[in-house]
Chain A
Amino acid sequence: MRAPAIVYAADPPAARIAVALDALVAVYHRPSGVTHLLAAPSPELLDALADGPADAATLRDRLAARYDLEGDADDRITATIDARMEEMIVAGLAWTT
Chain B
Amino acid sequence: MAQDCDKPEKSPGESDAAALGVAGRRGVLMLGAVAATSVVTIRPALASTAASVLNCKIPIPDPAHAGQYITQDGRLVAAGTKDAVAPPPRPITGDEAKKMINGQSPAGFDPSSREAYVNYIRRLQHGTSGFTCYASLQVPRP
Contacts and interface: CB of A to CB of B under 8 A. Distances in A.
Contact of B23 (A34, A37, A44, A83): A44
A7 interface: no
Interface in A29-58: 30, 32-44, 47
Contacts of A33: 44, 126, 131-132, 135, 138
A92 B34 contact: no
A32 B135 contact: yes
A35 B45 CA distance: 12
Nearest to B28: A68
B31 interface: yes
B19 to A, nearest CB: 7
Given A34-B135, A36-B40, A36-B41, A20 B22 contact: yes
Contacts of B1: none
A90 to B, nearest CB: 6
B38 interface: yes
Interface string B26-46: 111111111111111111100
B140 A68 contact: no
B34 A79 contact: yes
Interface residues on A, range: 35 or more
A77 B1 CA distance: 29
A66 B20 contact: no
A25 B21 contact: yes
B6 interface: yes
B20 A18 contact: yes
22 contacts: A18-B20, A36-B39, A36-B42, A39-B38, A39-B39, A40-B29, A40-B31, A41-B32, A41-B38, A44-B22, A63-B29, A67-B27, A68-B26, A68-B28, A70-B31, A71-B30, A76-B34, A84-B38, A84-B39, A90-B140, A91-B41, A91-B140
Interface of A: 18, 20, 23-25, 30, 32-44, 47, 63, 66-72, 76-77, 79-81, 83-84, 87-88, 90-93
